[in-house]
Amino acid sequence: MKSSHRHLQRQCVLQALFAKDQHLEGVYSNFLENTLEEYAAEVPNVEFAEHLYKRAILFENQAYELITEFAPAWPVEKLSPVDRVILVLGLTELCTDSEVPKLVVINEAVELAKEFGDDNSSKFINGVLSNVAEKKLNLELKNKNDQPKVSTK
């Protein structure tokens, strides 16, 4: 099965965020660029990856807060580094990108968990992201319903 351009870019971002998470100083600063170069023939446009990487770094602390809220039995620092980074990546997309459908974001994160995580990673990732997406959808619906109705009379 051939991976999509965006899936390959997410893999590259995951690897770069993992290097950053593991404090591999000097490695992660160019890691994304170097990894994307490996896939240059398959990924002609890397803007998505570069933008996602920057957003994930900026959103990281908020992602940790969401993990704490939606997986209280799993302190962020006790999560496997791979699961933690996949959650940061997935939560970043769920909460900061309205163009990618929520189900696509969740599915991509689950696929990354199957590729890079352990046996239980995909279920855990799916549970956390699905709960966050459901809450986000409920808030959006509530906000939409709370909007004043405009009379057309």
Residue 110 lies in a domain: yes
pLDDT tens string 96-130: 988 889 999 999 999 999 999 999 999 999 999 99
Q: Which of the 8 DSSP states describes residue 25?
A: T
Structure tokens that stand for 97 in this block: 């990108």
Residue 89 lies in a domain: yes
Mean pLDDT of the chain: 83
CATH of residue 25's domain is 1.10.940.10
The rounded distance, in Å, linking the Cα atoms of 28 and 23 is: 8
Q: How many C-beta atoms lie closer than 10 Å to residue 34's C-beta?
A: 13
**Model confidence, pTM:** 0.82
Q: How many domains does the chain have?
A: 1
Residue 99 lies in a domain: yes
Domain containing 10 equals 5-143
CB under 8 A, 24+ apart: contacts of 31-36: 36/9, 36/12
The pLDDT of residue 24 is 67
Residue 52 lies in a domain: yes
The pLDDT of residue 2 is 45
Residue 125 lies in a domain: yes
Predicted confidence band of residue 15 (pLDDT cuts 50, 70, 90): confident
Residue 151 lies in a domain: no
- Quick check: 89 pLDDT over 80? yes
Residue 72 lies in a domain: yes
- Quick check: 64 pLDDT over 90? yes
Residue 152 lies in a domain: no
